Chain A
């Protein structure tokens, strides 16, 4: 009776040791704040373990959950910034400092859900296309097409932002 619980605990511990630093590091690139990155990664793990038995692919679940939490964090920041701007009537409000890696922010912010999830799973969660197709319920050809479309979209965004900086 105790053995399954103990093995589950050991599996959880191994998963945490293997994935938490990578996930937290990825979040840090997006939010540029260690504390917030830890919060988001911890929340993703909490959500995973709250439904531990029903999640088939924990790695993909963690990255998609973290990406959604990061997006929520950005929205919250944007609301707060707008409120401050409204209160101070745009006086002496310095423009928001960009994240250290804006290109990654672009990845999550500019892509629609349909294209963002395969990119996250394939490039950041290191999942092969076959697993991504199983997880998302799409055919492998569809996943490849989604990845291609996402890359084209990102490339166009990058080109535009580079043109602006010149």
Chain B
């Protein structure tokens, strides 16, 4: 059963013999007069608290505004170029690298027309001579070609001698 709200009226609950009446008696029986100067003291304290609260509000607003301004700036700064890194050193010249040596590219390749292998082919194939590199000689000819011609010279001279001798033997 639901009790109607009107049944909760004060009338029957507070009869004078009820000990509850003592609990709920109006406080007019015991009054306590304020000490002198208490009113001004309370007013001063309240105004001080109001000022503090206003200052805290202004400070919070300023902090939020500063955050709203600085945060986008910071984010855009982070999206820019990253920190500078030192450049990598070039690879050593003796290593068998597929990348052409920058010092070889600007140099002319005059021996291509003579049938001698150019610098690019030399780097691809393993060279039998340890000191043979792609750097051209000062006169424009590869050193390998020069060395091969120099090695070939005695054999051709002996052949010439042989040919000069041969008619004599025929005779």
Contacts and interface: CB of A to CB of B under 8 A. Distances in A.
A21 B27 CA distance: 10
Q: How would you classify the secondary structure of chain B's contact residues: helix, strand, loop or mixed?
A: helix
Interface string A148-161: 10010011001000
A117 to B, nearest CB: 14
Contact of A21 (B10, B24, B31, B50): B31
Interface residues of B, number: 35
Interface string B22-54: 111011111111110011011101110110010
A48 B49 CA distance: 11
Interface of B: 3, 5-10, 13, 18-20, 22-24, 26-35, 38-39, 41-43, 45-47, 49-50, 53
Interface residue tally on A, bucketed by range: 35 or more
A45 B43 CA distance: 9
A34 B49 contact: no
Interface stretch (A75-83, A85-93, A138-146): A138-146
B46 A151 contact: no
A38 B34 contact: yes
A123 to B, nearest CB: 5
A50 B31 contact: no
B169 to A, nearest CB: 133
Interface string A49-72: 111100000000000000000000
